[in-house]
Amino acid sequence: MYKLILLLLASIIIAGCAAKTRVAADLDKISSRDLLAQNEHWQKSFSTLKGSAKITLESPQFTGSFGADILLNNSDSLLVTITGPLGIKLGRAFVSPKRFVFYNQMMNQFMTGSLEDYEDTYFMQFPLEISQLRNVFAARESFNILELSTYEIRDGCYYLETRNDYLNYHIWFDPASLLIKKIEYYNRSKLVYYKEYGQFEKFDGIYFPRLVSFVRPEEKQGMSIYYDEVFINHAFQPELFNINISDNARQIELSIENQASE
């Protein structure tokens, strides 16, 4: 299954950058600054997102698929509701710049605290750190570039290699939309993880990828999010972010929960 996920991700970048688009990359017309400015503008173009998706996880320790409802507000507050077969509610996770809450509805357990306390901790069986949840579900990238080392055409895409201190980024941009199709994150020369975005469509007049993938190749961990529905910049009540926890639910420590799943 893991090999199939890797083949799927590889096909996204090839099809998305070459066969699917007929616009050819042209370094004389589009500069690296144009690409970065376009992506910054796109990320600021939506303040709310509401969607439903299917999440597929693959790792040596766990394989499974879930349904999910996603709420994002102003790029900071995220609520993910996970469902299992027959729509059974499994859990709800809330992440804001300062707070994290997870309610395991199946086990009637919850954990909460400062996001700072959990930011380097993996979330459940997901290959994500809790601090990465917002950006992955919102298809956003946050990086600061100090030095551009490579700008060329690769695989039919605009391709950048940049660095910021000890972090290095390899980024492919679709020549038609000028949006990121793939980005690799390196700690010096080690590939830590990469993300790919595919099947961009217009929702409420704004492009958004139906498919978001996140892979840690060394750990053989992969996650894909396929959006069935997407609503962008629709107003919704802040009360939707509330998580109602049963009075007899037991509070647990996230570190203990992670140890139990290893």
pLDDT value for 17: 63
pLDDT value for 32: 93
For the chain, the distance separating the N- and C-terminal CA atoms, rounded to the nearest angstrom, is: 20
The 3-state DSSP class for residue 32 equals helix
The 3-state DSSP class for residue 234 equals coil
Tens-place pLDDT, residues 144-194: 777 899 999 999 999 999 988 888 999 999 998 999 999 999 998 899 999
pTM of the predicted model as reported, rounded to 2 decimal places: 0.83
pLDDT value for 12: 47
Q: With contact defined as beta carbons under 8 Å apart, do 11 and 67 qualify? A: no
Average pLDDT, the chain: 85
Residues 6+ apart with CB under 8 A from 84: 66, 67, 90
Tens-place pLDDT, residues 193-225: 999 999 999 999 999 999 999 999 999 999 999
Whether 258 shows a pLDDT value over 50: the answer reads no
Residues 6+ apart with CB under 8 A from 2: 58, 59, 220, 222
Domain boundaries, the chain: 25-242
Measured between alpha carbons, how far is 58 from 259 in angstroms, rounded to an integer?
Answer: 19
Number of Cα atoms under 13 Å in the Cβ half of residue 238: 4
pLDDT value for 246: 84
Measured between alpha carbons, how far is 258 from 123 in angstroms, rounded to an integer?
Answer: 8
List the Cα angle 17/18/20 in 5-degree steps.
85
Look at 254 and 117; give whichever has higher pLDDT.
Answer: 117
Whether 20 shows a pLDDT value over 90: the answer reads no
Mean pLDDT of 32-43: 92
List the Cα angle 40/162/220 in 5-degree steps.
95
* Residue in 44, 82, 25, 32 with CA at minimum distance from that of residue 223: 82
The DSSP annotation for 61-75 comes to: S-EEEEEEEEEEETT
Mean pLDDT of 94-104: 87
State which fold the 25-242 domain adopts.
Answer: outer membrane lipoprotein receptor (LolB), chain A (2.50.20)
Lowest mean pLDDT among 10-19, 74-83, 153-162, 201-210: 10-19
Lowest mean pLDDT among 12-21, 33-42, 53-62, 94-103: 12-21
